[in-house]
Amino acid sequence: MKTLLVISFIVLSICSIAQTPDDALRTAWFSGNGTARNVALGGAGASLGGDISAANINPAGIGIYKTSEWLFGGSVLINNNKLSYRGTDTSNNKSTSMLGTSGVVFAYQSNQPYSSWVSSALSFSFNQLANYNNRIQYSGFNNTSSFSEQYLEELQRDGADTNSALSNYIFGSSLAYRTYLIDTISGPGNSVQGFQSLVPLSTGVWQKYDAITSGGYNELAIAYAGNSNNNFYLGGSIIIPIINYKRQLTYSETDATTDTSNQFKSFTYKENFTSKGAGIGLKIGLIYKPQDNWRIGLAFHTPQLISYKDEIRSQMTTNTESYAGVKSESSDNLNNGQPGTRQYNITTPYRMIISGSYLFGSSSDVKEQHGFITGDIEYVNYKGARFKGLENADQGTLDYLKQVNDAVKSYYKGNINVRLGGELKLNTFMIRLGTAYYGSPYSNSTIKASSVLTTGGIGYRGHGMFIDLALSHTMLTDANFPYRLSDKPNTYSIQKTNTDNIVFTVGFKF
pLDDT in tens, 56-75: 999 999 999 999 999 999 99
When pLDDT is cut at 50, 70 and 90, the band that residue 363 belongs to is low
Question: Does the structure show a pLDDT above 60 at 111?
Answer: yes
Q: Which residues contact 313 (CB under 8 A, 6 or more apart)?
A: 271, 272, 330, 331, 332, 339, 340
Give 452-501 as a 3 state SS string.
EEEEEEEEEEECCEEEEEEEEEEEEEEEECCCCCCCCCCCCEEEEEEEEE
Count the neighbouring beta carbons within 10 Å of the beta carbon of residue 487: 11
DSSP 412: B
Q: Does residue 380 sit in helix, strand or coil?
A: strand
Task: Write down the pLDDT at residue 364.
Answer: 56
| CA dist 154 → 169, 264, 333 (Å) | 9, 22, 21
Strands (E), 86-191: 88-99, 102-109, 117-131, 134-142, 182-186
Q: Which of 31-40, 266-275, 442-451 has the lowest mean pLDDT?
A: 442-451
Q: Check: CB of residue 251 under 8 Å from CB of residue 78.
A: no
Question: Does the structure show a pLDDT above 50 at 484?
Answer: yes
* Among the listed residues 412, 331, 419, the one whose alpha carbon sits nearest the alpha carbon of residue 376: 419
Distance CA 277, CA 343 (A): 10
Q: What range does the domain containing 310 cover?
A: 2-509
When pLDDT is cut at 50, 70 and 90, the band that residue 9 belongs to is very low
Distance CA 14, CA 110 (A): 58
Distance CA 417, CA 31 (A): 9
pLDDT in tens, 403-445: 788 888 888 999 999 999 999 998 889 999 999 999 999 888 8
Q: How many whole angstroms from its chain centre is CA 186? A: 45
Label the pairing between strands 117-131 and 134-142.
unpaired
Question: Does the structure show a pLDDT above 60 at 382?
Answer: yes
Question: Does the structure show a pLDDT above 70 at 122?
Answer: yes
pLDDT in tens, 43-53: 999 999 999 99
Distance CA 138, CA 117 (A): 58
Task: Write down the pLDDT at residue 248.
Answer: 96
Task: Write down the pLDDT at residue 367.
Answer: 61
| DSSP H or E stretch at residue 83 | strand 69-85
Packing angle of the helix pair 2-13, 149-158 (nearest 10 deg): 80
Distance CA 340, CA 212 (A): 20
Q: How many whole angstroms from its chain centre is CA 506? A: 27
pTM for this prediction: 0.84
**In terms of DSSP H, where are the helices of 380-465?**
395-411
CATH code assigned at 265 = 2.40.160.60
Q: Check: CB of residue 314 under 8 Å from CB of residue 335.
A: no
Q: Which residues contact 96 (CB under 8 A, 6 or more apart)?
A: 76, 77, 131, 133, 214
pLDDT in tens, 71-101: 999 999 999 999 999 989 999 888 888 888 9
Q: What is the dihedral of CA 329, 334, 335, 340, to 10 degrees?
A: -50
Q: How many whole angstroms from its chain centre is CA 305? A: 16
pLDDT in tens, 159-198: 888 999 999 999 999 999 999 999 998 777 666 788 999 9
Task: Write down the pLDDT at residue 498.
Answer: 93
What's the number of domains the chain is made of? 1
Using a pLDDT cut of 70, give the percent of the chain over it.
Answer: 93
Task: Write down the pLDDT at residue 8.
Answer: 40
Distance CA 73, CA 67 (A): 20
pLDDT in tens, 205-240: 999 999 999 999 999 999 999 999 999 999 999 999
Task: Write down the pLDDT at residue 154.
Answer: 86
Task: Write down the pLDDT at residue 47.
Answer: 96
Task: Write down the pLDDT at residue 365.
Answer: 57
